Amino acid sequence: NEGPLILGIETSCDETGVGIVRGQTLLADAIASSVEEHARFGGVVPEVASRAHLEAMVPTIRRACETAGIKPSDVDAVAVTSGPGLAGALLVGVAAAKGLALSLDKPIYGVNHLAAHVAVDTLEHGDLPKGCVAMLVSGGHSSLLAVHDITDITDGVVPMGNTIDDAAGEAFDKVARVLGLPFPGGPYIDKAARDGGDRLYVKFPRGLTSPRDLERHRFDFSFSGLKTAVARWVEAKRRDGEDVPVNHVAAAFQEAVCDVLTRKAIDACKDRGFEHLLIGGGVAANSRLRVMAEERAAAAGIAVRVPRPGLCTDNGAMVAALGSELVRAGKAPSPLHLPADSSMPI
Ligand code: KG4
Ligand code: ZN
């Protein structure tokens, strides 16, 4: 029973997540997802997501409290994702958190969703290293960040690099669509590749890795050329009336993404002299990325920290985890009128 008891609320996209942590111990991680409702549209429909959050919010808070064996009035503070994300979806979570904080007379902490993807690792591996490179790979972001202290990340960190076009998860989702796999595509590509996919079947392009590109974009990513290359390759096969070997294409595409991500992440660690690489966000659940990062980092003398797959994709525990770090660091809470900021920078 060490540390503050924090309830965290996440509603930035299509998962209604409510997590409860005590210090760095996870007590509950309740999730309701509207993904099924979006699947037939091939992407998240903001209006549908907002309505689903509204319906799921109270039951999910109840379920988290039951699992943790606490009453809402036991919590020391409420944390909530205040950005970035879908504006309407964020508003539901922020409004719920304010109602809870106000009625319980407890402080509220508005947190950055991307920072929370990093902070969630504390629930599995304890305090974060004092200096590390964090690679954030999700449906909306692909960034390399030099993190000194996670509780300062909310005050703004200039990323070492970003994607200049599609995010890594977005590329997974778009390529999955080309291959006729369901939405969201990341987990399906991962599975197709694992089911006998040949990673070396085709060599797809590695964006921004030529010597010329590296001069200007050493730590940036680009995945739209890769996505187009896969789409062209698949179209050509279909035009010739040939079968598309989905497992092989999935594996070869995944290999290209993971190759670039791990190479640049390790280069970033070397550039900063950091011995720790932390990986977070939905794409960090990818099985090939986890293995490749581990192997390549080990060869470079760098330790990798990546939370278990269930904590990589969006959830409430990550918000509670960052809230807990902020409280433990003695950070001031947010004003009760805190806004939701859909384009909040890291
Ligand atoms: O972090 P997240 O749950 O939501 C955002 O903040 O965007 O990330 C969602 C993204 C989706 O693009 C999804 O396809 C991808 O993470 N993803 C994966 C895997 N699991 C989820 N991508 C590759 N392999 C996976 N196993
Ligand atoms: Zn996320």
> What would the pLDDT profile of 1-41 be if each residue is shown by its tens digit?
689 999 999 999 999 999 999 999 999 999 999 999 998 88
Structure tokens, 11: 């509603």
Question: Ligand 1 centre and the CA of 45: distance in Å?
Answer: 16
pLDDT at 156: 58
Pair 291, 239 in one domain: yes
pLDDT at 2: 86
In a domain, 125, yes or no: no
- Best mutation site among 313, 315, 346 for ligand 1 pocket (most ligand atoms within 8 Å of CB): 313
Q: Which residue carries 């060490």 as its tokens?
A: 2
pLDDT at 154: 56
Q: At what angle do helices 224-239 and 168-178 cross, to 10 degrees?
A: 10
Model confidence over 236-273: pLDDT tens digits? Answer: 999 999 999 999 999 999 999 999 999 999 999 999 99
pLDDT at 60: 98
Pair 321, 257 in one domain: no
Model confidence over 109-159: pLDDT tens digits? Answer: 999 999 999 999 999 999 999 899 999 999 999 999 999 998 887 555 779
Cis preceding linkage at 84, omega within 30: yes
Pair 107, 172 in one domain: no
Q: Which ligand is nearest to the CA of 137?
A: 1
Res. 164 pLDDT band, cuts 50 70 90: very high
Pair 50, 169 in one domain: no
pLDDT at 345: 86
The whole-angstrom separation of Cα 65 and Cα 58 is: 11
The whole-angstrom separation of Cα 322 and Cα 116 is: 5
Structure tokens, 19: 């997590």
SS (H, E, C) 282-322: HHHHCHHHHHHHHHHHHHCCCEEECCCHHHHCCCCHHHHHH
Atom of ligand 1 nearest to the CA of 15: 3
Mean pLDDT across 276-303? 98
Pair 253, 208 in one domain: yes
Give how many domains the chain has, as a whole number: 2
Lowest mean pLDDT among 155-169, 251-265, 326-340: 155-169
Mean pLDDT across 216-235? 98
CA atoms within 13 A on the CB side of 230: 31
Binding residues for substrate: 136-140, 173, 186, 190, 286
Binding residues: 113, 117, 136-140, 173, 186, 190, 286, 314
Residue nearest to ligand 1 atom 10, measured at CA: 139
Q: What residue ranges line ligand 1, CB within 6 angstroms?
A: 13, 138-140, 169, 172-173, 184-187, 190, 281-283, 285-286, 313-314
pLDDT at 225: 97
pLDDT at 104 over 80: yes
Give the domain extent around 18. 5-120+315-328
Q: What is the DSSP letter of 165?
A: S
pLDDT at 346 over 90: no
Whether 54 and 92 have beta carbons less than 8 Å apart is answered as yes
Question: Ligand 1 centre and the CA of 169: distance in Å?
Answer: 5
CATH number, residue 214: 3.30.420.40
pTM comes to: 0.96
pLDDT at 1: 65
- Best mutation site among 44, 121, 172, 344 for ligand 1 pocket (most ligand atoms within 8 Å of CB): 172
Atom of ligand 1 nearest to the CA of 285: 26
